[in-house]
A and B are shown apart, each in its own frame.
Chain A
Amino acid sequence: MDIELIEIQEFLTRHPPFDQLPAATLNRLPKQLTIRYFRRGLPFPPTDIDSPQLYILRKGAIELRNAQNELIGKLAEGDLYEQLCRHAVAEESGSTAEDTLVYMLSCTDLAQLCRDHSAFASYFEQSPSHRLRQALDVMVAAPASNIGLMTVPVRAMIQRVPITTTPNLSIRKAAQIMSEHRVSSLLIMDGEQLVGMVTDRDLRSRCIAVGLPTEQPVSEIMTRTLHTVDMDTLGFQALITMTRLNVHHLPVLDGERVAGLLSSTDLTRFQSANSVYLVGDIHRASSVATLAQISSKIEELQVHLISSGATANAIGQAVSAITDALTLRLLELGEQTLGAPPVPYAWLVGGSQARREQSSHSDQDNALLLADHVQPEDDVYFAALAKFVNDGLNVCGFVHCPGEVMASNSKWRQPLRVWHKYFMHWIMRPEPLALMLSSVFFDLRSLYDPANLYAGLQEKLLEQARSNQLFLAYLTANALKTRPPLGFFRNIVLIQGGDHDHTFDIKHRGTVPIIDLARVSALAASIPETNTLERLKAAADCGALSRDGAANLCDALEFIGTLRMRHQAQQLRTGQKADNFVSPDALSPLERGHLKEAFVLIHAMQEALGQRYQAGKFG
């Protein structure tokens, strides 16, 4: 009847786990609370309270420290302190970091609530990592159908078992089979082996148009070099492959086995954002100006994807795929202008593009790897090619790298043997510059490499890095320099003053620490992957990271990364320039809570890795 405590009730409703309680219980709950006020700098929990209590922070901030007086957590609005309901004596000691108002619920009342409401009780049984996973699930729960391609693997798109036949069947019989099954393509199998494919178009252009007798075996007109996709390829990536190759069918493999055939109509059923077709436009573009025009839609794509519920990884994959396409097209255009290259070369990408974690305003990191027999006079060609691509990317919105880590810089346009020397030097004698460059050059991917120059270099560097403990220790120490802003809320670890007053840098303090941890783990275990999630999964598979630890970091990266993308989408929508400075006030109490738990997890993993690779000695 006293509905007037409704504001306290509403406050509780906004904060887990109280949101799990039925309305009738929530109605009564405020009456079970008492309110206390503590000035800043006082010990917490207070000692003058007779019976143990659950503390619910209403306003203010509390810092918690362990026995070694290390900061282990901070409580902000809506946070709970339930330690006294678990153990008679608090394990941590805390103090109020601000003037603080708390609601208190007696542990007896809490126990009763837990007995009556299992969903509520489970909150107190769950670990923070479990809670984070749930939060992530909620955030990306219902991706709208128009981004299906972003998140749905090919596995879920192929409709039925592929129609197949043998190579020696006649063209006429093959056409009959296709008519009978109403399909536009036929896979040609030699036993278990996929040897080719025939499509309507092949029948038309390679048989009828050239007057080939239909009694000829179908192998005469089949396409032999087939591009295939894996079952787990995302629909979006399959679409990119199709557009690039200008084909409408892709055989889908499950390991070695043919699992099905993906047609472009299968993809259009998962109607995708129009902007996803950007990649197709890129391959048709014939000038840098056209490419720039196409690129101007990347921001729009990013905003669209995030508002449709895509995760940071999905967006990173999409934007990086577009940058890859842009780079490849620029290389083609460059070669058209400059002529064929004098010696084979590989175009290497580094940083976020290599990790497939780009966003629309990333800068470019790239390098040129030249075949060893390159002559000094050939550099004119490669310098021009590099400049063409670097400038082209710049015009397309991927601005010049401030550190000049670009192929147009002669230092990063070198023959294979020099690159070998570079890497051995970085690994054998880790110095600040090498560590600074590690986020670029130890996340390297060869984007265009027809002569397969990079594979040998990569193999060598992975082998060296793994066996060099000193290098790993330095790299780890470097990775631990960036700590999550554990007390990010309010005046504690927020940026004070300047253009970014009262914010924290969600990239530098949030996602970068995870990316760094993944790199260390990958290099320590010779994992060739560059994408952070893939690195973490591979590290868990080979035991370089604990399974839980890796899974927690993956969840934390997706959660923080997705918050970051949302922040940027919001800025882009309102016509601002996207940045990484997030105000905690812009997050919901729930998001703030989960973000903090994510930070705690990262911190714990940093500690674990620091121990493992003895970073302390070199920090």
Chain B
Amino acid sequence: MPMLLDWQRHWLARRASPGALRDYLQQPLVAARTDYRAVDYVAVDLETTGLDSRRDLILSVGYVTLRGMSIDLSTARHRVVRIDRSIPESSAIIHQITDDQTARGSELSAVLSEFLAELAGKVLIAHHASIEQRFLSTACRQLWNCGLPLRIVDTQALALRTFERRQIPFKVSDLRLHSLGHRYNLPRYAAHNALSDALAAAELFLAQAAHRADGRGLRLAEFLC
């Protein structure tokens, strides 16, 4: 299956329009048998106008890179995307991005180009990753006529597996990023923006991996979706 994914990447690389996505696709995906400690990761979070990737828009992207199981804050980025419609009030309340800010934002293609350049050759970390995956893939298709093959670590899926494996009873709210952070003695971020959530997901992954691996080397495959 992972082999298949890399073959798909190869195939897409020939099909994609020139640009950031094609450059991304030139880099092989990380092999799933690699020791997870030797892998580079990019933790990402998107703020969007809603949950439907076909109709809703990406408002902002926050991400930060992990190398050698350290979060490198010099790579932390927060980019607001310029969109041409006003933000529904309901979502503005959550992520607190205003129309004014999006008017000052960058083009989605520029934001994603920068992001893909950072992501190339790395594994993506997100909490409840299907949203990030769908929105990123849809955007790539619109911009460069081609989907986005990814290696993904979903911190929420990891948490769910842990609960189930240890037969710990849990509520849905226990799977939230902040509840899990508390469980692992992580700092609580009051602000709710794409970068602080990406950072929280990165820290959560450090904690989950430390607890799971307990000092041993594990294959990346253990953490992939």
- Asked if B100 is an interface residue, CB under 8 A from chain A, the answer is no
Tell me if A5 and B195 are in contact (CB < 8 A).
Answer: yes
Which residues of the partner chain B approach A33 to less than 8 Å between Cβ atoms? Answer: 73
Tell me if B206 and A31 are in contact (CB < 8 A).
Answer: no
Q: Can you list 16 A-B pairs with a CB-CB distance of less than 8 A?
A: A4-B62, A4-B191, A4-B194, A4-B196, A5-B73, A5-B199, A7-B189, A33-B73, A34-B70, A35-B73, A36-B70, A37-B206, A37-B207, A59-B185, A59-B186, A59-B187
Report which residue of A7, A8, A100 has the largest number of chain B beta carbons within 10 angstroms of its beta carbon: A7
Tell me if A99 and B185 are in contact (CB < 8 A).
Answer: yes
7 A-B pairs closest in CB distance: A35-B71, A37-B206, A4-B195, A4-B78, A99-B185, A34-B70, A33-B73
Tell me if B185 and A101 are in contact (CB < 8 A).
Answer: yes
- Asked if A2 is an interface residue, CB under 8 A from chain B, the answer is yes
Mark interface residues in B70-114 (1 if CB within 8 Å of A CB, else 0): 111110111000000000000000000000000000000000000
Tell me if B193 and A4 are in contact (CB < 8 A).
Answer: yes
- From A38, which residue of chain B is reached at the shortest CB distance? B210
Tell me if B191 and A6 are in contact (CB < 8 A).
Answer: yes
Tell me if A31 and B73 are in contact (CB < 8 A).
Answer: yes
How many pairs of A and B residues are in contact by the CB < 8 Å rule?
76
- Asked if A98 is an interface residue, CB under 8 A from chain B, the answer is yes
Smallest beta-carbon distance B184→chain A, Å: 6
Chain B interface SS verdict (over half): mixed
Which residues of the partner chain A approach B190 to less than 8 Å between Cβ atoms? Answer: 7
Q: Point out the residue from B189, B199, B206 that lies within 8 Å of A36, measured CB to CB.
A: B206
Which of the four size classes fits the interface of chain A? Answer: 20 to 34
Q: Which of B39-63 contact A (CB under 8 A)?
A: 62
Which residues of the partner chain B approach A101 to less than 8 Å between Cβ atoms? Answer: 185-187, 203, 206-207
Tell me if B193 and A99 are in contact (CB < 8 A).
Answer: no
Cα–Cα distance between A101 and B206 once the two chains are bound (Å)? 9
| Count of chain B residues with a beta carbon within 8 Å of a chain A beta carbon | 30
Smallest beta-carbon distance B162→chain A, Å: 14
Which residues of the partner chain A approach B207 to less than 8 Å between Cβ atoms? Answer: 37, 99, 101
Mark interface residues in B173-216 (1 if CB within 8 Å of A CB, else 0): 00000000000111101110111100100110011001100110
- Asked if B69 is an interface residue, CB under 8 A from chain A, the answer is yes
- From A31, which residue of chain B is reached at the shortest CB distance? B74
Which residues of the partner chain B approach A8 to less than 8 Å between Cβ atoms? Answer: 73
Which residues of the partner chain B approach A104 to less than 8 Å between Cβ atoms? Answer: 70
- From A98, which residue of chain B is reached at the shortest CB distance? B185
Q: Point out the residue from A11, A32, A60 that lies within 8 Å of B185, measured CB to CB.
A: A60
Report which residue of A4, A30, A34, A99 has the largest number of chain B beta carbons within 10 angstroms of its beta carbon: A4
Smallest beta-carbon distance A489→chain B, Å: 13
Tell me if B185 and A2 are in contact (CB < 8 A).
Answer: no
Cα–Cα distance between A5 and B194 once the two chains are bound (Å)? 11
Chain A interface SS verdict (over half): mixed
Which residues of the partner chain A approach B185 to less than 8 Å between Cβ atoms? Answer: 59-60, 98-101
Q: Point out the residue from B191, B194, B203 that lies within 8 Å of A35, measured CB to CB.
A: B203
Cα–Cα distance between A375 and B17 once the two chains are bound (Å)? 115
- Asked if A39 is an interface residue, CB under 8 A from chain B, the answer is yes
Tell me if B210 and A39 are in contact (CB < 8 A).
Answer: yes
Report which residue of A7, A35, A59, A100 has the largest number of chain B beta carbons within 10 angstroms of its beta carbon: A35
Tell me if B191 and A37 are in contact (CB < 8 A).
Answer: no
- Asked if A564 is an interface residue, CB under 8 A from chain B, the answer is no
Which residues of the partner chain A approach B187 to less than 8 Å between Cβ atoms? Answer: 7, 11, 58-59, 101
Mark interface residues in A206-241 (1 if CB within 8 Å of B CB, else 0): 000000000000000000000000000000000000
Which residues of the partner chain A approach B206 to less than 8 Å between Cβ atoms? Answer: 35-37, 101
Which residues of the partner chain B approach A37 to less than 8 Å between Cβ atoms? Answer: 69, 184, 186, 203, 206-207, 210
Which residues of the partner chain A approach B191 to less than 8 Å between Cβ atoms? Answer: 4, 6-7
- From A33, which residue of chain B is reached at the shortest CB distance? B73
Cα–Cα distance between A5 and B190 once the two chains are bound (Å)? 12
Which residues of the partner chain B approach A42 to less than 8 Å between Cβ atoms? Answer: 215
Smallest beta-carbon distance A110→chain B, Å: 15
Which residues of the partner chain B approach A30 to less than 8 Å between Cβ atoms? Answer: 73, 76
Which residues of the partner chain A approach B74 to less than 8 Å between Cβ atoms? Answer: 31-32
- From B183, which residue of chain A is reached at the shortest CB distance? A99
Q: Point out the residue from B69, B76, B184, B186 that lies within 8 Å of A2, measured CB to CB.
A: B76
Q: Point out the residue from B62, B70, B211 that lies within 8 Å of A39, measured CB to CB.
A: B211
Which residues of the partner chain A approach B62 to less than 8 Å between Cβ atoms? Answer: 4
Which residues of the partner chain A approach B77 to less than 8 Å between Cβ atoms? Answer: 2
> Given A2-B195, A4-B191, A59-B186, A34–B210 Cβ distance below 8 Å?
no
Cα–Cα distance between A59 and B185 once the two chains are bound (Å)? 7
Tell me if B76 and A31 are in contact (CB < 8 A).
Answer: yes
Q: Which of A81-134 contact B (CB under 8 A)?
A: 98-101, 104
- From A60, which residue of chain B is reached at the shortest CB distance? B185
Tell me if B210 and A5 are in contact (CB < 8 A).
Answer: no
Which residues of the partner chain A approach B73 to less than 8 Å between Cβ atoms? Answer: 5, 8, 30-35
Q: A2-B76, A4-B196, A101-B185 are in contact. List 18 more A-B contacts (CB 8 A).
A: A2-B77, A2-B78, A4-B194, A8-B73, A31-B74, A32-B74, A34-B71, A35-B70, A35-B202, A35-B206, A37-B69, A37-B203, A37-B206, A39-B210, A60-B185, A99-B184, A99-B210, A101-B206
